[in-house]
Structure 1
Amino acid sequence: MSYYRTFRGFFRIIFSLVFRWQVIGREHIPKEGPVILCANHISLWDPPLLGSGIERMVNFMAKEELFRIPVLSFLITKFGAFPVKRGAGDRAAIRATLKLLEDGKILGIFPEGTRSKTGELGEGMHGVALFALKSQAQVIPVAIVGPYRWFRPIKIVYGEPIDLTALREVKSNADTLKETSDLIMRHIRELLDQHRS
């Protein structure tokens, strides 16, 4: 955790001085218990931005290729990342994620699965819906309002928790996963629309 705080402090300086960040909605983050932060994805800066905006530690799934690079592997592991095989239905990563949430921790995830080349919000993948329905985590939509430009404001907006009670009460299937994913993306889109200047 000491490494994490050090890295977070470093990134907070960068976001404050270089990007003049604005953090909105910190009060929506529960002080304890499992949380899934679901954000749009526009830049490699997004993971540290998502984690730096709040006080609790945020854990991330990252593509396994990054863990083959020695120095980078050390850094991202200390910043709360764990490996996943993209597009392969990585059961170990799924189990690790659900265990992380069961332990009351925070997961940061980008439902689109990859960075948007246009800056516009894409379609959400079903993985985030699986984690949301298989856990009792609070699901928080997050809007990163860019683009990232030096000495220009970047906004990160943490929204109110999404009510998934009804969806969690029905049997999980492909339709439920799609409905849940679409609901999460709709909340992210509403935050983006609301806070774009």
Structure 2
Amino acid sequence: MMEIYSASDNCPLQAQKTTQKPQITVYEGNISPLLTSTAYFLGYHFLLPFFFGQIQILGQEHIPTTGPVILAPTHRARWDALLLAYAAGRYVTGRDLQFMVTVDECQGLQGWFVRRMGGFPVDTKRPAIATLRHAVEVLQQGKMLVIYPEGNIFRDGKVHTLKPGISRLALSAESYQPGLGVKILPVGINYSEPYPSWGADVTINIGPAINVNDYTIGKAKQNAKQLTEDLTRSLQNLSSPELTVSHHAFAEIPNS
């Protein structure tokens, strides 16, 4: 039985149930392997190393190389998506990332590229069931899905209130297919300046994965709340300016 919960704060925690596996028709057929490969190559080897002064990646040992993963990063700049692919994409894990993005980010020329590189839009005010089902199917296929749990870009360095949709979505996927093994990977992205300019430094802190199956016993609403609270704490720790690196494996990529 399929249960999809609303990703919006304005919608009650209600389940819409079906007895058959949903038919997904949300943009996946538009993904361009050629464009994706080219973008990864140019971004990894040229654009990001040229633009940033130093890119420091901590905690790559926490990234699962198999199974369904939701990357849950803080959202600090438009560069975030490229940096996530740089830190956890095909050159690190052998897998590409798919992104759940706002409708506004899928407009015009930018939207054309976003859709063909694995992005698909969600209306955060009125999320369509088809979009949420597509996100669940991405996880069922054992892929890596990026969802920004804060919803918007915040440049003050603080972790803002997380949207409940990410926890509900993860729990829906796990409950529909017990033993699926969904993991949520918290990621803190920290820039040396609020609006990154040429030569700015960035640190990407990847925390231990949260096992969604640990939150499937008991009432769904309480489980989603607890999962959101635990994810919030993880992101706060990863965004702390006092974070030390002595116990992490890290990659440091200077400007070449």
1:140 positional shift: 0.7
Match of 1:162 among 210, 214, 217: 210
Contact 2:157/2:239 (8 A) holds in 1:
no
**Structure 1 gap ranges (5+):** none
Once the two structures are superposed, residues 107-148 of structure 1 have per-residue CA deviations (whole angstroms, 9 ceiling, x without a partner) of 111100111142311011101111221233111110101133
> How high is the TM-score relative to the length of structure 1?
0.90
Aligned residues with identical type, % of pairs: 26
Deviates further, 51-60 or 164-173: 164-173
Separation in 1, partners of 2:215, 2:205: 25
Once the two structures are superposed, residues 42-64 of structure 1 have per-residue CA deviations (whole angstroms, 9 ceiling, x without a partner) of 11111111122122211111222
Match of 1:139 among 184, 190, 200: 184
Amino acid at match of 2:97: V
1:196 positional shift: 7.6
Contact 2:182/2:213 (8 A) holds in 1:
no
1:190 positional shift: 0.8
> How high is the TM-score relative to the length of structure 2?
0.70
Higher Rg:
2
Separation in 2, partners of 1:196, 1:90: 41
Match of 2:51 among 18, 38, 59: 18
**Structure 2 gap ranges (5+):** 1-32, 174-180, 246-256
Provide runs of 4+ in structure 1 moved above 6 Å.
none
Match of 1:81 among 95, 119, 129: 119
Match of 1:150 among 193, 198, 201: 198
Higher helix fraction (1 or 2): 1
Once the two structures are superposed, residues 155-183 of structure 1 have per-residue CA deviations (whole angstroms, 9 ceiling, x without a partner) of 1122111234431222311x322221111
Match of 1:180 among 227, 235, 248: 227
Query: What is the number of residues matched between the two proteins?
Result: 195
Tell me whether 1:3 sits opposite 2:35 in the alignment.
Answer: yes
Contact 1:145/1:195 (8 A) holds in 2:
no
- Aligned-residue CA RMSD (Å): 1.9
Separation in 2, partners of 1:11, 1:154: 15
Partner of 1:192: 239
Amino acid at match of 1:180: L
Contact 1:22/1:156 (8 A) holds in 2:
yes
